[in-house]
Amino acid sequence: MKETSPDGLLIEGSWLADDEAHRRSKEGAFIRPQSSFRRFVTADGSSGLPAEPGRYHLYAALSCPWAHRALILRALKGLEDTISLSIVAPWTTGFGWSFAEYPGSTKADVNDTDFLYQVYQKADPRYTGRVTVPLLWDKKTRTIVSQRIG
């Protein structure tokens, strides 16, 4: 069985593999930082992110229950042809989520990256924080719409 736990994070835009000090408090509690990207797509576009077919891209992992929620909603709302999808490999290998070959995963990412942290770097080259799924990407402005932590 391969490693399944997340194994790093971005600090000022650089990948830090050994993240234990950032992950747990001295008492051992799991640290859940605030999400940096937390915007909303709205039907009327009042958020600055109008609901437009083909504009948004979802990143998910089949091994992540929170990503399942996004995948289920996308299916129930009939948005599978509207919101494109990348599925990362279900395990991580020292660089967080990747587009490594795995049944059910997508090898090529819409952003042409090998690892999900590189998508975060495109959105913010100085991003500090966790690299998580589910993640929604705006293909038009080439940045992250939302990412949830905790």
Ligand X SMILES: N[C@@H](CCC(=O)N[C@@H](CS)C(=O)NCC(=O)O)C(=O)O
Applying CB under 6 A, the residues found at the interface with ligand X are 6, 9, 64, 66, 130-134, 148-150
CB-nearer residue toward ligand X: 48 or 150? 150
Query: Minimum Å distance from CB 45 to ligand X?
Result: 24
CB-nearer residue toward ligand X: 64 or 119? 64
Burial (CB count <10 Å: 0-12, 13-18, 19+), residue 81:
exposed
Would you name the residues annotated as active-site residues? 64
φ, ψ of residue 15 to 5 degrees: the values are -75, 130
CB-nearer residue toward ligand X: 54 or 62? 62
CA dist., res. 21 & res. 44, Å (int): 43
Which amino acid is present at 96? G
Which amino acid is present at 150? G
Query: Minimum Å distance from CB 87 to ligand X?
Result: 13
Query: Minimum Å distance from CB 19 to ligand X?
Result: 8
